[in-house]
Structure 1
Amino acid sequence: MSSQSPQIVTLPAPVRNQTYVTVAALDAGHLTLPERLFVTDADPEKRTTVPSMSFLIQHPSSTSSKTTNILFDLGLKRDFSGYRPAQQHHISQRQPTIVSPDAAESLQKGGLSPQDIDTVILSHVHWDHVGTPSDFPSATFIAGSGTLHLLAHGGGPLYPAELFNADELPVDRTRELPPVRPADAKYASAQQTPASLQWRPLAGFPAVIDFFSDGSVYIVDAPGHLYGHVNLLCRIGEDKWVYLGGDCCHDPRILTGEKGIAEYDDGKGGVRSVHVDTCEAARTVERVRRLMGEKKVVGEDGRDVQVEIVVAHDKVWRERNKERFFPGNL
């Protein structure tokens, strides 16, 4: 009987004077998820209160003492009162929620001011990831292509405009990533990131942006969950990386293959999942899964590489890694 050779994923080897970033987790609120809506073969009555984590990425300059501070996702808002009725109804189904500490509080407890944040990159703009943008008055916000259109007009019958706030992000400080697919261009904002930031394939992902152009932080197009959904791939050491998976899945057992993505009645005679495109979300999960430890991940120079994958709502990871929350790091 023949056996398949192990799948090999290749990540870029470090260059001379390679820049490495530090990554720290931040508590940014909790919400409660009914398991039956997220994973297959679920206990229909089980509900679990999970984190919605934010992450601080610190990028040292190679030419000065300046460190660029990035937040990836902002978790939950402190105050839900500004949400619209449809949003309030949705949030009522995710109770209990915990809103303290939020991302800003967690930063301050670690010794960093919210005003010190230079950039906020949002994986997507669901309510449990956008936090309180006004806490970060000096930050440029970066979101996937079409995000501002989504906030203003919604995204079809599964995600009507009533589930979003058009003024969620500071428009004068928000920049969208360039469209990945030609069909997305019609929804793109004129306020885009610099033209130097271009999508290119990397490590089995069709579209990735080298954010600092130095191989330290890559923005990964991670379609399926919501329009414009992105992940981050961060180089934290010579042979060590961290992959921040946002909502590519809501339970790490989907990544390991123990569970699948749940589908359920959409109330309109069909089925749906928590993703806007279930098939595309499954393809994203498979690409992320290739980075896991049981696969073969190597650098371009042939050395073995370690990639730690963390998704936003991984309760078990949070409980096991409390010392890696800011001011600690991964």
Structure 2
Amino acid sequence: MSSTIPRSTSTVTVRAINAGKITFLPASLFFEPVLPGYEGLSGPVYTFLIEHPTKGKIMFDLGMRKDQDKYAPMVQGFFDRFRELGGVETVSEQLVKGGVELGSVNAVIWSHTHFDHIGDISTFPPTTELVVGPGTDLRTYPEHEDAHLIESDTAGRKVTELSFSNATLHIVDLPALDYFGDGSFYVLDTPGHQPGHISGLARVTPTTFVLLGGDCCHHVGDIRPTPLHRSLYPCPASLLQSATHSLCKSHFPEIASEPLLKIPPPPAPSVYKDYEATMRSLERLVRLDADPDVLMIIAHDGTAPGVVEEFPGTVNGWKEKGWKEKLMWRFLEKDGGGWRFG
């Protein structure tokens, strides 16, 4: 366990809800290089139900709306860049189907305000609080024509904008807030993709954690491998040999000790609003991703389906089930959901 995470015996239960599949176009907005035949980026849309034994339930992100014509006009203008938007059931519908009363959800935390994360919070009662990161743009349409939110996204409920300016706690040098006050769930300040972007760190046993990465990156190849990954989780020789043989050598000379993909630096077009902040956040999150006691799940990790048990199951037993070992290098498997290297 990372020495920067305070010790505690308080835990939460985490359930991963897959809100469907999304294909982003073009992939070059998310990372480079992009090889011919890999111009799109497909992945799930993960949200998370977090249950505290005495302090209730919260949601981390809500996925997408089913009635996508209800998004603000500014958002609908982006839809030509996406395919396979969403799934058959919304997060709210999946919760109800799974026996979770929406009124029992005390708060919804948005990692950020992009359309594939905010869902439709109006399906939750006014007693459900909305929690956002610092500097989040909460303007709504139609009052503001260029807004990404609509009135029902914030109206009639408590909206809390977190502040890390006086944070006394830091985890891997990231400002952190102890959400429940007992060390069971931390909110991490991870700006870059969008102002106010935040991540979650859930303690699922006294010594193991699940890192809810949101859109800190969009492919695990943005953060793997590093020397830390290679030392703690050596790539299996057979997989390394197969992947090395299949690499497009002009773009990927070898699988070395640095990530195979890179966040597009300025002036290249990119979905990351602040390149420098993105890189600072990722440099710190890598330390958690490589930690044997932390399982990182980013919102659109194409390697997670088929390994991560989804709602109504829990992710709490990930370590004893060996999920980290299965996922760490799965992006190098041609049928592992993340291959795009040759």
Query: 1:106 offset after TM fit, Å?
Result: 1.8
Superimposed CA distance per residue, residues 202-224 of structure 1 (whole angstroms, 9 cap, x where no aligned partner): 22234111111101111111111
Superimposed CA distance per residue, residues 82-106 of structure 1 (whole angstroms, 9 cap, x where no aligned partner): 2243322201220121332221122
1:54 is aligned with what amino acid? T
Query: 1:118 offset after TM fit, Å?
Result: 1.2
The answer as to whether partners of 2:17 and 2:91 remain within 8 angstroms in 1 is yes
User: For 1:170 and 1:86, how far apart are their aligned partners in 2?
Assistant: 17
Please list every run of 5 or more consecutive structure 1 residues that lacks an aligned counterpart in the other structure: 1-7, 62-66, 155-159, 182-197, 265-269, 298-304
The answer as to whether partners of 2:193 and 2:216 remain within 8 angstroms in 1 is yes
1:143 is aligned with what amino acid? V
User: Which aligned pairs between 1:44-123 and structure 2 lie closer than 5 A?
Assistant: 44-46=36-38, 47-61=40-54, 68-123=56-111
- Corresponding residue number in structure 1 for 2:301: 314
Q: Which of residues 132, 136, 142 in structure 2 aligns to 1:147?
A: 136
- Corresponding residue number in structure 1 for 2:17: 26
The answer as to whether partners of 2:72 and 2:150 remain within 8 angstroms in 1 is no
SS at match of 1:249: coil
User: For 2:82 and 2:176, how far apart are their aligned partners in 1?
Assistant: 33
- Corresponding residue number in structure 1 for 2:168: 200
Determine what percentage of the aligned residue pairs are the same residue: 30
Aligned length: 278
**1:12 partnered with 2:3:** no
Query: 1:173 offset after TM fit, Å?
Result: 1.9
- Corresponding residue number in structure 2 for 1:275: 272
Spell out structure 1 runs of 4+ moving beyond 6 A.
none
For the aligned residue pairs, the C-alpha RMSD in angstroms reads: 2.4
1:240 is aligned with what amino acid? T
The TM-score, its normalising length taken from structure 2, stands at: 0.74
Inter-CA distance 153–13: structure 2 relative to 1 (3 Å threshold): farther
- Corresponding residue number in structure 2 for 1:241: 209
Query: 1:58 offset after TM fit, Å?
Result: 0.3
Inter-CA distance 247–174: structure 2 relative to 1 (3 Å threshold): farther
* Deviation larger for 171-180 or 23-32: 171-180
- Corresponding residue number in structure 2 for 1:175: 159
Query: 1:166 offset after TM fit, Å?
Result: 4.4
The answer as to whether partners of 1:114 and 1:136 remain within 8 angstroms in 2 is yes
User: For 2:264 and 2:113, how far apart are their aligned partners in 1?
Assistant: 21
Inter-CA distance 149–77: structure 2 relative to 1 (3 Å threshold): closer
Query: 1:307 offset after TM fit, Å?
Result: 0.5
Query: 1:60 offset after TM fit, Å?
Result: 0.9
The TM-score, its normalising length taken from structure 1, stands at: 0.77
The answer as to whether partners of 1:22 and 1:236 remain within 8 angstroms in 2 is yes
User: For 2:90 and 2:263, how far apart are their aligned partners in 1?
Assistant: 28
Please list every run of 5 or more consecutive structure 2 residues that lacks an aligned counterpart in the other structure: 225-258, 317-342
